[in-house]
Amino acid sequence: MADEKPTKKTLDIKRRPMPKQDHHERIKNFEEVALGYPVPTAREEASRCLDCKTALCNKGCPVGIDIPGFIKRIVEGDFAAGIRKIKETNALPAICGRVCPQEEQCEKMCVLGKKGEPVSIGRLERFLADWEAGQDKIEIPVMAPKTGKKVAIVGAGPAGVTVANDLLILGHDVTIYEALHECGGVLIYGIPEFRLPKSIVKREVDYVRRLGAKIEMDFIVGTTRTVDELLEEFDALFVGAGAGLPWFMEIPGENLNGVYSANEYLTRVNLMKGYRFPEYDTPVKQPARVAVVGGGNVAMDSARTAVRLGADEVHLVYRRSRTELPARLEEVENAEEEGVIFDLLTLPVRLIGDENGWIKEMECLEMELGEPDDSGRRRPVPVKGSNFLMPADAVVIAIGNSPNPLIPMTTPGLELNKKGGLMTSPETARTSKARVWAGGDVVRGAATVISAMGDGRIAAASIHKYLTGQE
């Protein structure tokens, strides 16, 4: 495609690095690691963009942000126009700019990536969102006249918040029901402060509140009221309840003391602020030698949390090799810098406790990679007779989560998909039950923030059509 070739300027193939807290310092605090671009760097990085006519990057973004559109505003120095551009399609830019797997999405598609490094789209998105936050006046979009229709949303995670945002702008009344005492879902209880400051999540949730969302906390849909009861009051209902059910390995010893699901470990630290115990009441153990089992973002977050809680040694135990690690590369590198020891090609088979029922060591097997499996990754196979013992006084299991069964258990008529999530139509996000939509991790199983938001947009559009009699 000829129009993507740069005509005037020479290719600037190196992306501008983003300043980070030094790793010697940051392992001692819970503050954000990446510090964001200063204005001049942001404008330099933005001017690397070729403003392609057929911008491939846009196709890589699940919520369809006009990427060259907002980047151009940064070059011009009109940051207010830039953030407005993003907010046309993305209600949570400060969050996406930080935690989106950009290297798999927008940045993967950027043409500059073919010759050198892609434009740092995520960092620029973050830059604008942070700039706006510093302005102390957040713009409220033009709202459609009230329609009088009422929508209930289950769960204040990224999926639910996105649906709320879109439907409020379209003039519908929205009530969000959240089981916990804070909004944000995994963004609040799972992803740690040092990767996503909670003040940012609070700010973005407050934004939807300012648009007029009613939020009912401590409300567990299924037991406080059922979906069917809510449907008597509301015209439509969206389920964005996430994938909160932690998996265990189903090996002996998993109920020993000192063995945690990553959800428990991270919730104690993030939601309950255990790292500030006893100022906050919820305790978290501070063991010397922690083993985290798994290789995704959740495992990296757990391992890096253990480092910050002061463990002497933190091991990340993963059954495949470094190339197969599902976590974002940037986070793997951060973890390595912070001193996390990677025990790759290693599989725990038994957890062994001391006489008081506390974890003492893990029996593991060495693995080697065989033929590729269904996921296309090479299958790990145990090396015969390679059993060995690894001492550990805490084990954090971070091998995955699946959708919580509470809602299907209490709601007749909701069909499930193969992952145990709610079955939906991909075009509309409608479930098998009339007037009920769903999206995000409750449908996909543990996925990403941006895919949850993408589902939310589809659902909101479909709910709007239904409410206005267009279908």
Partner 1 sequence: MYEVIERRMIVPNLHEFTVRAPAVARSVKPGQFVIVRPEENGERIPLSVADWDREAGTVTSIFMQVGASTAKLARLKPGQTIPTYAGPLGRKTDIENFGTVLLVGGCYGIGSIYPVARALKEAGNKVYTFLEARGSFLLYWEDKLAAASDGMFIATRDGTKGRKGHIADMPAMLSAAGITPDRVIVNGCTFLLMRTSELTRPLGWKTVVNMNPIMIDGTGMCGVCRVSVGGKMKFACVDGPDFDGHEIDWAEFLARRKSYGPEEVDPLRRSSCASHF
Ligand X SMILES: Cc1cc2nc3c(=O)[nH]c(=O)nc-3n(C[C@H](O)[C@H](O)[C@H](O)COP(=O)(O)OP(=O)(O)OC[C@H]3O[C@@H](n4cnc5c(N)ncnc54)[C@H](O)[C@@H]3O)c2cc1C
Give residues in contact with partner 1 (CB under 8 A). 179-181, 189, 216-220, 223-225, 244-246, 248, 250, 254-258, 260-261, 263-264, 267-268, 272-273, 277-283, 285, 356-357, 404-406
DSSP sequence for 289-336:
EEEEE--SHHHHHHHHHHHHTT-SEEEEE-SS-GGG--S-HHHHHHHH
Residues in contact with ligand X by the rule CB under 6 A: 99-101, 154-160, 177-180, 185-187, 190-191, 219-222, 240-242, 244, 266, 297-298, 301, 404, 406-407, 440-442, 446-450, 452
149 phi and psi angles, rounded to 5 deg: -90, 145
449 binds, among ligand X, ligand SF4, partner 1, none (CB under 5 to 8 A by kind): ligand X
Nearer residue to ligand SF4 within complex by CB, 75 or 271:
75
The CB-of-49 to ligand SF4 minimum distance in angstroms stands at 3
With CB under 5 to 8 Å by kind, the binding choice for 280 among ligand SF4, ligand X, partner 1, none is partner 1
Which of 72, 430 has the CB closer to ligand SF4? 72
SS3 (DSSP) at 280:
coil
Question: Cβ(189)–Cβ(274) under 8 Å?
Answer: no
d(CA 205, CA 185): 11
Decide: 410 and 222 in contact? Cβ < 8 Å: yes
Minimum distance from residue 43 beta carbon to ligand SF4 (Å): 14
Q: Are 74 and 128 in contact (CB under 8 A)?
A: yes
Q: Which is nearer to ligand X, 60 or 185 (CB)?
A: 185
257 binds, among partner 1, ligand X, ligand SF4, none (CB under 5 to 8 A by kind): partner 1
Neighbour-count burial of 104, counting CB atoms closer than 10 A to its CB (0-12 exposed, 13-18 middle, 19+ buried): middle
Check the CA dihedral 72-93-42-50 and report its sign.
negative
Q: Does 95 bind ligand SF4 (CB under 6 A)?
A: no
DSSP 402: E
Write each residue from 403 to 442 as x if it is in contact with ligand SF4 (CB under 6 A), else as -, in one continuous string.
----------------------------------------
Q: Does 162 contact ligand SF4 by CB under 6 A?
A: no
Which listed option, ligand X, partner 1, ligand SF4, none, makes contact with residue 110 (CB within 5 to 8 Å by class)? ligand SF4
As a residue count, the chain comes to 471
Report the alpha-carbon distance of residue 262 to residue 272 in Å, rounded.
14
Q: What angle do CA 201, 206, 211 make, to 5 degrees?
A: 135
Which residues would be at the binding site for ligand SF4 (CB under 6 A)? 49-52, 55-57, 61, 63, 65, 67-68, 90, 96-97, 100, 102, 105-106, 110-112, 119, 121-122, 125, 450
